[in-house]
Structure 1
Amino acid sequence: MPRDTHDRLDLFAEPSPEKSAGTSPLAERLRPRSFEDLAGQEAVVGPDRPLRKAIESDRLASLIFWGPPGCGKTTLASLIARHTKAQFVSFSAVTGGIPELREIIKTAEHRLATSGRRTVLFVDEIHRFNKAQQDAFLPHVERGTIILVGATTENPSFEVIAPLLSRSLVVTLQPLTEEALERILNRALHDVEAGLGATRLELTDEAKRRLLNYANGDARSLLTALEFVAGQVSSNETDVRRVDDPAMEAALLTKTLRYDKAGEEHYNLISAYIKSLRDSDPDGALYWLARMLEAGEDPKFIARRLVIFASEDVGNADPTGLLVATAVAQAVQFVGLPEAQINLAQGTTYLATRTKDNASYVGLLEAMNDAKSFGNLGVPLHLRNAVTSLMRDQGYGKGYRYVHDDPKAAESQTHLPEPLRGRRYFRPKDR
């Protein structure tokens, strides 16, 4: 189906043989051109899956693709471009703005009015638009002027406005499995036209394993690293370019873990860490601690969470936990990285292995709920201090029993307002 190519980015255009031969990055050259070439995401677009049927039959509704980098969001958009009869327009929220978007919408309206042909608008990094800018899509999605296909690495619940979410199907994509990455790697090594097949590059099993681990579920990272490694290897006497594990390790240097201190992965890891502590699993807690530290998390943030955890979850089952957590926080401030990791590890294993009791925290929450529900209940007169004769005449302090002189006063004397008499907020667990 012919298209107005000026409306589309080269990303979705048919590559020329010359371009495929070397000027485009390997990840771009190997981008699948059919669902049969696609590796991974079978749960979403495998054979007979509803979304795949909708794309192949050109019955598409507005979509939001949500997933980590390199999982196939842009690839799925390119497959939509190949299957839809609508005009496909690609737009980046990083490089484009509202004026450009208005022009795209204006053209889409004209196209719909004159030819009846709708427009599929692919918006990469849609979370880069603020909430007010995202409002610009709403009337055109509602009227059917455009079919919106957005792509984001951030949780749409937080980054995409609710009215837009309610008009779109959110498609969650997972990091690619090792099996899917291995299929992509093998294709890259053997494809003569688009891949590296003509270079006679060979990887040992150990080198492949290191590269797959390095990719961390990201196909683009895998292919970018492979292309870099291929450029560093010279041929042997048989014209084969062989890469073993030490050569792969030297080329890759280090693996960067996926992490965003301001994004969802930040909250996912700290959540896993706290839940491991709460369930008294020091091994799980140490692993998530290591993940955060390796990814560059601020150690002071972790230390603050330990201090909170010591009171919230350990509580009076072991009051020493708060002292240890506070000492760890001070040590982190005083020592700094990398040695402060040792302090965090000690605090983590100590708190993970303590008996847990959240009675203080639960009691506070219940008391705060009553404080809001019952309003400004007056302090019982016997608990008030009579600092003037007028206050004494009004009954302030009358009937108060001093517990040091009257030990039974602690049991019989009430300390709550009358509507809350008998309430129990603090219920420590019998361990």
Structure 2
Amino acid sequence: MLTSFQPSTQGFEGEINMQVARRREAQLAALLEGVGVFPVEVLTYGATDRASERWLQRALSQVSTQLAEVRERIFTLAQLQRHHVVLDINAGSGLLTWEAVRHAPEGGVCACVHSESDAQALVEQAAALSELRRPMVVNAKITELPVVLASQAPGVQFDCIIGRNALLNEPDKMAAAQVLAQLLPQSGRLVLAETVPRHTQRLYRLLDRQKLDAKLCDRLVTAEEAMYTDSSDPMLNWDAEDLRMAFEAAGLIVEVVLEQSSTQMHITSAFLNRLFTTGAKRPSYLDRLALTLQPQELTAIKEIFSKYLLNQTVNWESSIAYVFSLDET
């Protein structure tokens, strides 16, 4: 079962159990959340052919490996002690929550989720722990946390706040930073890992420009780059430097390190169909291109993508910003 948290025992057997648990937690997070390496379309399509199914398994394996690396980096920066009280501000499937439980067995962990289903899943997984070690699970937005915590855990003092992609969809990152600074005492530590969509792989860069009409290619480049300058989209209207400024405006001294990575991705027909289908919740690639390109140009671009990218394996670029507070000395 991927969904069960297994408390570790002592000695060699305990170490093996802990390694297995960590691997399973990363696999579950890859399956349910992704890492921001790939567009969500890549990991959610219903594959029917064996080649696609095999690639999907490899993709999930790559994502779970990268998630494990992100988790390790976060906890290296966090420097948790056994007695620390930790707040995971975007617990999701529990990737960071369960690691915090292992690092702070004499302290406590509060897991903040944003859906009732995530809350219920964490509560069920925590049943394997003794009552004293179970994380407290709260379902709240970041901006609601002060009120919710005052009600459910009055007087709680956090030694560390951790999170992965906690600010990604926050419409007001400045307000979120203010809240987190408010929850953190002067001696506390903040460590976040945020995928930066503005630096994600550009699709036009996957094409060989020498094989394309120069004018159409230039218009595609302009239209796609315009997507990442949409000031009304909270997912795209920020960069790593904006995070630093937001937290420093809130009174925290932070360092922000932007790390780039490259992962292989297989371009499937399902992925291309998602790109060129009108989005239900968010504008799709097609929707955004249509703001500046003509219908006949969109048709031509779709045909180009199918001709040159379908069933190809490409290098997919992504970036993660690590945000961590520094001592005021």
TM bucket, shorter chain = 0.3 to 0.5
Structure showing the higher helix proportion among its residues? 1
The two structures have a TM-score, normalised by structure 2, of 0.35
Higher alpha-carbon Rg? 1
Structure of higher RCO (CA pairs closer than 8 Å, 6+ residues apart): 2
The two structures have a TM-score, normalised by structure 1, of 0.29
Structure showing the higher strand proportion among its residues? 2
